[in-house]
Structure 1
Amino acid sequence: MDAPEHRLPPGSAGFPAGFVAPPVGTGADKVNIGRLAQTLWRQKWLILGLTLVLWLPAVLLINAMTPLYSAFTVVVIDPHSNRVINIPSVSEPMGVFLDTVNTEVEILRSRDLSRRVVETLNLGQEPEYAAVVDKPGLLTPVLEEGRALLMDATAALPEPLSAMLTPPPRPAAPTGNTEEMETARLISAFQKNLRIIPGVQSRAIRITVEAKDPQLAARAANAVADAYLALQVEAKRKATQNASEWLQSRLDELRQDMTTTGRAAVEAMRSESGMVKGRDAPLVNEEMSALNAQLAEARTAHANAQARLRQLQSVQPGNPESLTGTDIGGDPLITGLRQRQTALSAQLAELRAQYGDRHPALARPTAELRELNAALATEVDRVVRSLRGEVEQQVAKIQNLSRRLETLRTESFDNLQADVRLRELQRQADASDDNYRRAVTRLKETQVLQALEMTPDVRIVSAAAVPVGPVGPGKTVLAGLAAILCGAIATGIALVRTSGQRGVYSSHQVEAVLGLPAVGIVPMLGRGRRSAGADDDRYSNTGGGDFAEAVWRLCARLHLVRNGAEPATAKGGEVVMLTSSVAGEGKTTLAVALSAFLADTGRRVVIVDCDTRRPTVHRLLGGNRPPKGLTDLLEGDATLDQVVQVDDRRRVAVIAAGRTVDRPQILLGSKAMLSLLVELAERYDVIVLDTPPVLSVSDALILAPLADRVLYVVRWARTASSLASAGIKQVRQVGGRIGGAVLSMVNAREHANLEYGTRPPSGRSYRLRRIG
């Protein structure tokens, strides 16, 4: 018998009409602020509980904090001090610049100044600065023993591996003077409590000290200011003392340089050179000036004659144009010859243009031009010889003048060098005298300044007073910040917990993640419903419960409820298969409820338990396991009438799983199974197949191509989306027609909050009321 044609409702790819899954990934990656707020609202008790658990210890720690007191002193840079005497100081007063204020701030922060304060206040005796004895922790012996074991274990390994795994040696304990180490510790501890704050666009500097003792805070702030002023006075006094000592040591050297070196050298130079200041210098200079003028004139004449000679030597006697621009020295004969040469050249050019080059009229002018060129060459040669003589004469004159000028220059250089040396010695002698007088004067002024009291360039404008109240820690602010931080941590934990849930929670996730329309959302049957009496059927639609209404919506959306205008035999029976990814997803319960509901509406329904490994349909219907079932029918040990059991209460025909076989896949994929479905389609309107999970065994994959539509059951909040996607992919690969996904065992209130952002309205439920 041939297999019946699949009769699916109108729609594409097995989906019911009107149900098209939205494109996966279009909005899945976008952050929905509203849903995020809903997620946090659902986790509000967890967030509040974690926040409280974390916040209480933080509040206890904040309350246990020791209060801190702060005292401050204000100093102002005041470099305009009153002068008692008009003597410049050795160290000039500081200028009022931005870098000056910053420099003084760094001086106030220096360790040298902090050392003075530590020694002045004897901070080592204060309780809050007392040294803390490092006690070994509870785990120190264990860690030391573990370190020793690790050292022994690595010693037995090869050299490269041993070097890599051997723990580094412990840092050596600091060595040195114990007193110096203690002082360094006190300085570091004091600097942590010291705040130096420069004023904004002012010369004021605020010195703030924090301490647990208010008296100590005030004393320390004033001590810093006093040490700062003393440091300035000491620096000025030390600079003046060093200057005085240096001047005293230089006086003897200056005196010796003035009397012996300076004056003696001038007199010795004058005696050696035998010259008076300025002797013979004017005459030599005047003679050198005259010779320089003559030498310049001779060089100019030589250059002019040389240029004329080169021009005349380049003249071509046969070419009249070569004399153009040539300096011939105003010779009238050459000038006349050139004029006649030019006229004959023009006449010949005119005759050639008129008669041609071979006409007899050209003979006479040509001969005259030839004679004229010879005469012109003779005259040019004469002028060239004359110019050569003139050039040689000028060269001799230049050489003679140069020799005389060189002699005068040597004599003048010797005299000038002697005069320069004499002047230099005289200047050195004068400078030695001036240096000695200045040194004596400055020494006396420095001795006067050293006797006077030094005044610092900084003055205290506000001394530190004992603070009346603590400045920190701000316990209220810290408690608020701790609450915010703990709330953020608790929120993060809640978000991590929520993101770690891999289940499917709403129809939106079904459509976006699984790519299937959510055709049904079935709530969980409570324990009270499962223990109801015989008159109250948990699978009946007449009770008006949430479960029955959910099954009704599922049938309506799948078009399984017969239209009243349509004959019952208008089309053959439809095979509906229910499966899931893993066990325990409520698949069998839904199959039984769906069958019972359709039977109550008047449709002929048969449910086939195809899960031969773990059959449960008969147990859910409240009966015993029949002796014969599906496996017996497929193996030929029973007929269809023998295996079909009718539940009189629900008017549902049931085919149990039958006895257990070793390889049920062979039976489910046989022709007998196909023939069974064809025969059931002729007898019944709806054939419901309850199959095992897809990812557990292959039975459902064998039956999927034989069904008209497949309903994929996904347990709410439990089945991971990755498992559901994997199962759906396998069903599609074998040709199964998946009509949609059903969310089973749903918590109605939680689902409403997830799906719509609000809980369902409270009050009396909308139930059917029985009449009579």
Structure 2
Amino acid sequence: MDAIVAATGDSEIAALRAQLESVTKRSEVTLSRIERIGAHLARSDWSGLAKSLESAEIPELERMRSELLQALGGTDIGRPASPVLHERLSNLETSLAQIANDEIFGLRSELAATNKEVAALRGAMGSAMLHSNLPPHILTPFYGLQQAAQIATSSYEAMLSRLQALETEASTQLADSRIVSAAIPPISPIFPNKPLMLALGAVGGLGLGIALAFLFENYIGGFTSEQQMQAVLRRKVAATVPRSAVTYGSISDAIIDAPLSRYAEAVRRIRAILDTALRKGGHANETGRGRVIVISSALAEEGKTTLALSLTRTYAVTGRRVLIVDCNMRGPRLSHHLNVDASTGLIDILIRNDPHRDITSLLVRDPMSPALSIVGARSADLPTDQLVASDAFGHIISSARRNFDYVILDAPSLNSAVDGLYLAQHADAVIFVIRWAKTAQHVAASALERMSELLPHGVAVLLALNNPQSTKSG
């Protein structure tokens, strides 16, 4: 370009070039702004987004957002933040995101217009150069390229015409063949050989059925018997818990309302085997420490909370001091089973991270038994593994051991949250709940193996097959 301008002295080409460089730089700046705003929006970086936007509403929205964050950060742990504050913060962030999207749309429209202007300037420069008074050593390559392009275009058109002619000939060509003699039918059919095909089909179907049954029985399918669970998982099965006949309320109410039912008897069997395992493991009451029992599972909806509350009530009705803690802070369910309302839950005390906070303010009495509980007041909106690994949670467990004979922790499923792995480190015994014919065997085995690697030495792990199809009770 410099050589062309120097050779012709054409100021129009130089002006077009300078204009093209200016427009190209403006296009790059616009593209950079689009990428920067999009990156802030994808990371929900509202402070960075506010600095990148040019809307007049942004400073006021950012000020209001800062005030809401300060109000939420200053809320007392004992009194959860008002949902109205969370809703207002969410609405402000939605407004910021909408303004950002509108500005991105406008910038993209501006970028498209700039790109069209760049294309027009390039065309104008090319036309100006070809019509300027260029010397032969510069003009010759231009005409050479034009001639090569014309030749290539002519060759392409000729080849395309030839291809169309060949397709027409292929569609109209007749086969060069004739019938010499009619075929003579065989005396007996050669194909298909029905006996052979039936025999091969029967053998193949039988083999495929056996292979699928083996995979389903030992790897893919769920557990349907205690013997199957013990053979696959190599752990002691405490009991098969049948479905209770309770038609309303929590199934665990059968421990009090129907103490002679098959469901209540199965839970008492788990209690007896659990006590034996605790004595063998050296976790007896004579040590002066309450025993921590973790109720865990591989997947959600396995029946952990129901079984945990049922086991709590079986201990409570025998005169033992029992505490059940809803440790599933991402989806607390214990308060629904107890049919109680709690304004303050486990997550509220753990967020403050006060190792010496008295837990008596968190205790809720079971309406149907002498047991006490710590329920979840709300679902967590932050990672909860850091809470169960904190000093405050360790203080709660230590205090519960001193004041109760049994502390039962209703843990979240291992495949949905890492919290269960931290909770298992406090356990004296673990009851691993598996839903009948639902949880895949490899899923249960993998979750059980992950948890077992973190358990203290001597901790008993018992299996419970929950909720089989049988609905009989009594």
CA distance in structure 1 between the partners assigned to 2:334 and 2:250 by the alignment: 20
Is residue 561–residue 598 contact of structure 1 (8 Å, CA) maintained in 2? Answer: no
Q: Does 1:734 align with 2:454?
A: yes
Is it true that 1:684 corresponds to 2:404 in the alignment? Answer: yes
Query: Residue in 1 aligned with 2:364?
Result: 645
**How far has the Cα of 1:505 moved from its partner?**
2.5
Query: Which residue number corresponds to residue 466 of structure 2?
Result: 744
Deviations 1:609-650 (CA, angstroms, capped at 9, x unpaired): 0111100011012222x1112123332496311110111322
Tell me the alpha carbon deviations over residues 728-763 of structure 1, each in whole angstroms, 9 at most, x when there is no partner: 2221222353522221122349xxxxxxxxxxxxxx
CA distance in 2 between counterparts of 1:683 and 1:729 reads 32
Query: How far is the alpha carbon of 1:484 from its aligned partner?
Result: 13
SS in structure 1 of the partner of residue 254 of structure 2? coil
Deviation at 1:664, TM superposition (A): 2.1
1:694 aligns to 2:395 (yes or no): no
Structure 1 counterpart of 2:433: 713
Q: Aligned with 1:537: secondary structure?
A: helix
Residue 538 of structure 1 aligns to a residue in which SS?
A: helix
TM-superposed CA distance for 1:519, in Å, is 1.9
8 Å Cα contact 1:562/1:568 also seen in 2: no
1:607, distance to aligned residue in structure 2 (A):
0.2
1:724 to 400, 422, 444: 444
Offset, 1:663: 2.9
2:351 pairs with 1:629: no
Q: What do the CA deviations read for 1:418-474 (whole angstroms, capped 9, x no partner)?
A: xxxxxxxxxxxxxxxxxxxxxxxxxxxxxxxxxxxxxxxxxxxxxxxxxxxxxxxxx
Task: Determine if contact 1:732/1:738 at 8 Å carries over to the other structure.
Answer: no
Q: Which of 196, 219, 228 is 1:509 aligned to? A: 228
What is the alpha-carbon distance in structure 2 between the residues aligned to residue 638 and residue 492 of structure 1?
62
Structure 2 residue aligned with 1:657: 376
Q: What residue is the counterpart of 1:260 in the other structure?
A: none
Q: What letter is aligned with 2:389?
A: G
Structure-2 residue corresponding to 1:539: 255
With over 3 angstroms needed to count, the CA separation of the structure-2 counterparts of 1:709 and 1:561, relative to structure 1, is closer
Distance in 2, matches of 1:661 and 1:489, equals 52
Q: Is the 8 A contact 1:561 1:601 kept in 2?
A: no
Q: How do 1:577-616 residues align onto structure 2 when only pairs under 5 Å count?
A: 577-616=294-333
Q: In 1, are the aligned partners of 2:297 and 2:304 still within 8 Å (CA)? A: yes
Residue 557 of structure 1, CA deviation: 0.9
**Alpha-carbon distance in structure 1 between the residues aligned to 2:210 and 2:386:** 49
1:520 is the counterpart of 2:248: no
Residues 64-112 of structure 1: per-residue CA shift (max 9 Å, x gap):
xxxxxxxxxxxxxxxxxxxxxxxxxxxxxxxxxxxxxxxxxxxxxxxxx
The equivalent of 2:390 in structure 1 is: 670
For residue 605 of structure 1, report the CA deviation from its aligned partner: 0.9
1:554 equivalent in alignment to 2:276: no
SS of equivalent residue, structure 1 residue 597: helix
Alpha carbons 2:278, 2:428 under 8 Å: kept = no
Equivalent runs, 1:381-392 vs 2, <5 Å: none
Q: 1:494 to 1:623 in 2, by over 3 A?
A: farther
Q: AA paired with 1:600?
A: V
Match of 2:425, SS state, is helix
User: For the residues of structure 2 that align with 1:647 and 1:549, how far apart are their CA atoms?
Assistant: 21
- 1:122-201 equivalent positions in 2, closer than 5 A: 175-176=177-178, 178=179, 180-182=180-182, 185-186=183-184, 189-192=185-188
Gaps of 5+ in 1: 1-154, 157-171, 195-476, 750-763, 768-772
| Structure of larger gyration radius | 1
SS in 1 for 2:416: coil
1:190 Cα deviation from its structure 2 partner: 4.6
Q: After superposition, where does 1:135-534 map in structure 2 within 5 Å?
A: 175-176=177-178, 178=179, 180-182=180-182, 185-186=183-184, 189-192=185-188, 496=212, 499-500=215-216, 501-525=220-244, 528-531=245-248
The answer on whether the counterparts of 1:577 and 1:689 sit within 8 Å (CA) in structure 2 is yes
> Structure 2: which amino acid aligns with 1:539?
I
Structure 2 vs 1, CA of residues 687 and 193 (structure 1 numbering), >3 Å: closer, same or farther?
closer
Secondary structure of the residue that 2:414 maps to in structure 1? coil
Identity of aligned residues (%): 26
The alpha-carbon distance between structure 1 residues 190 and 705, as it changes in their structure 2 partners (threshold 3 A), is: closer
Give the conservation status (yes or no) of the 8 Å contact 1:541–1:549. Answer: no
Partner Cα separation in structure 2 for residue 491 and residue 540 of structure 1? 51
CA distance in 2, matches of 1:579, 1:651: 24
Q: 1:192 to 1:663 in 2, by over 3 A?
A: closer
Q: Which runs of 5+ in 2 are unaligned?
A: 1-158, 161-173
Residues 215-251 of structure 1: per-residue CA shift (max 9 Å, x gap): xxxxxxxxxxxxxxxxxxxxxxxxxxxxxxxxxxxxx
Residue 493 of structure 1 deviates from its aligned partner by 5.2
Inter-CA distance 674–560: structure 2 relative to 1 (3 Å threshold): farther
Instruction: Tell me: CA distance 1:516–1:193, structure 2 relative to 1, closer, same or farther (3 Å).
Output: closer
Alpha-carbon contact 1:713-1:741 (below 8 Å) kept: yes
Q: 1:524 to 1:640 in 2, by over 3 A?
A: same
Evaluate the alpha carbon distance shift between residue 484 and residue 652 of structure 1 in structure 2; reply closer, same or farther with a 3 A threshold: farther
Alpha-carbon separation, structure 2, partners of 1:561 and 1:544: 24
Distance in structure 2 (CA, Å) of the matches to 1:621 and 1:502: 33
Cα distance 1:193–1:541, how it changes in 2: closer, same or farther (>3 A)? Answer: closer
What is the TM-score with the length of structure 2 in the denominator?
0.52
The CA distance in 2 between the partners of 1:193 and 1:503, in whole Å, is 48
* Residues 592, 607 of structure 1: 8 Å contact kept: yes
**3-state SS in 2 of match to 1:510:** helix
Could you tell me which amino acid in structure 1 is paired with residue 227 of structure 2?
A: H
**Cα-to-partner distance string for 1:108-145 (whole Å, 9 max, x where unaligned):** xxxxxxxxxxxxxxxxxxxxxxxxxxxxxxxxxxxxxx
Q: How far apart are the structure 1 equivalents of 2:212 and 2:250?
A: 44
Q: Which amino acid aligns with 1:509?
A: Q
SS in 2 for 1:551: helix
Is the Cα–Cα contact under 8 Å of residues 610 and 630 in structure 1 kept in the other structure?
yes
Question: CA 1:562/1:596 → structure 2, altered by over 3 Å: closer, same or farther?
Answer: farther
Does residue 617 of structure 1 match 2:334? yes
Distance in 1 separating the partners of 2:176 and 2:344: 91
**Taking structure 1 as reference, are residues 710 and 643 closer, same or farther at Cα in structure 2, changes over 3 Å only?**
same
Greater shift in the superposed pair: 602-611 or 570-579: 570-579
- Which amino acid is 1:548 matched to? A
Query: Are the structure 2 counterparts of residues 489 and 732 from structure 1 closer, same or farther at C-alpha, using a change threshold of 3 Å?
Result: closer
- Alpha-carbon contact 1:530-1:538 (below 8 Å) kept: no
> Whole-Å Cα distance in 2 between the matches of residues 629 and 560 of structure 1?
33
The separation in 1 between residues aligned to 2:247 and 2:261, in whole angstroms, is 13
In structure 2, C-alpha distance between the alignment counterparts of 1:592 and 1:707, rounded to whole Å: 17
Counterpart of 1:437 in structure 2 is none
SS state at 1:628 partner? coil
* Residue pairs, 1:96-135, within 5 angstroms: none
